């Protein structure tokens, strides 16, 4: 299977596990059966919103969900059966260092659900913990090789958290870090990851305010014959206005094909559900409306 994926892709991402537990008041312990059922219901709520958006005109061929096997197994199976693009995580939730959720059995679990994309979330700063970077690279190379040997697509979510020194260099201002420092570090991380023989088909990229930076990233992920490798914009739980900026910065550029947004779409609806507030039908509609909204922002900017 050729490397890359260059079709439009609009992913509603709700593979979060640890953060869902926190929303439902679960910390430092395993959830009870009842709590597990409530989180599973929250995942179903989001999927219902996604389906409502499809019924309302979201482009079916580009639409997709990113959901986990811990709290969303039935959603994953239903999405697969319905023919939607399905992405599923491979990583342990809530870990600073990437490792496999299912250990050496990661391949069997991927084959069980048969997702369109296997996704990892990786924190990688080239000026950070070198030992951690090396350990992660070894595991990611193993995953990358297995996926491509088995004709499967690889979705790579890259986060570049600031080191203390990097944050100090901008006076502790996280917005300045995001604007002035992070873009260059992202490019350094991508180069190191590529050099390690790790080959994502799609890079899930933290939002960038500058269209020039988006263009540089898109060119980098396609360097040296990786002509069909693409980027999607992630939401990072940011405000709608900020996500709009990030979508417009990447939209229409060669190498950008869409987004993978989660909390910015479902956050308020799931919080209401967890708190026993609000109306379920209203939550489904709100999720559908926001998903459609971000598709419209991305496509309008491209046009």
Mean pLDDT of all residues belonging to the chain: 96
What's the pLDDT tens digit per position in 32-72? 999 999 999 999 999 999 999 999 999 999 999 999 999 99
Is pLDDT at 278 greater than 90 in this prediction? no
Rounded to a whole number of angstroms, the CA Rg of the chain reads: 18
pLDDT band for 303, please (50, 70, 90 cuts): low
Q: What is the mean pLDDT of residues 194-218?
A: 96
- Domain annotation for the chain: domains and CATH numbers: 9-302 (3.20.20.70)
**Cβ proximity of 139 and 98 under 8 Å:** yes
CA atoms within 13 A on the CB side of 122: 33
- The DSSP line for 117-185 is EEEEEEE--TTS-HHHHHHHHHHHHHHHHHHHHTT-EEEEEEE-PPPHHHHHHTTT-HHHIIIIIHHHH
């Amino acid at each position: 299977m050729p490397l890359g994926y260059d079709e439009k892709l609009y992913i509603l991402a709700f593979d979060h596990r640890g953060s869902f537990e926190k929303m439902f008041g679960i910390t430092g312990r395993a959830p009870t059966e009842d709590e597990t059922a409530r989180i599973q219901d929250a995942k179903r709520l989001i999927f219902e919103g996604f389906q409502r958006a499809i019924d309302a005109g979201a482009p079916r061929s580009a639409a997709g969900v990113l959901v986990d096997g811990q709290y969303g197994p039935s959603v994953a199976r239903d999405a697969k059966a319905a023919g939607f693009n399905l992405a599923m995580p491979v990583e342990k939730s809530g870990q600073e260092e990437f490792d496999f959720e299912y250990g050496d059995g990661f391949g069997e679990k991927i084959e069980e659900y048969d997702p369109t994309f296997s996704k990892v979330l990786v924190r990688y700063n080239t000026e950070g913990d070198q030992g951690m970077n090396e350990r992660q690279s070894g595991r990611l190379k193993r995953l990358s090789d297995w996926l491509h040997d088995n004709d499967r697509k690889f979705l790579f979510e890259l986060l570049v958290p600031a080191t203390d020194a990097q944050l100090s260099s901008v006076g502790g201002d996280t917005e300045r870090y995001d604007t002035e420092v992070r873009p260059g570090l992202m490019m350094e991380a991508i180069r190191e990851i590529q050099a390690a023989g790790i080959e994502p088909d799609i890079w899930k990229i933290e939002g960038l305010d500058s269209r020039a930076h988006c263009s540089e990233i898109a060119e980098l992920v396609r360097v040296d014959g990786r002509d069909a490798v693409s980027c999607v914009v992630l939401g990072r739980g940011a405000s709608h206005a900020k996500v709009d900026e990030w979508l417009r910065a990447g939209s229409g550029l060669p190498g950008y094909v869409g987004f993978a947004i989660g909390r910015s779409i479902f956050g308020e609806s799931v919080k209401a559900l967890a708190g026993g507030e609000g109306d379920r039908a209203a939550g489904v509609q709100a999720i559908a409306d926001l998903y459609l909204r971000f598709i419209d922002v991305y496509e309008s900017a491209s046009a």
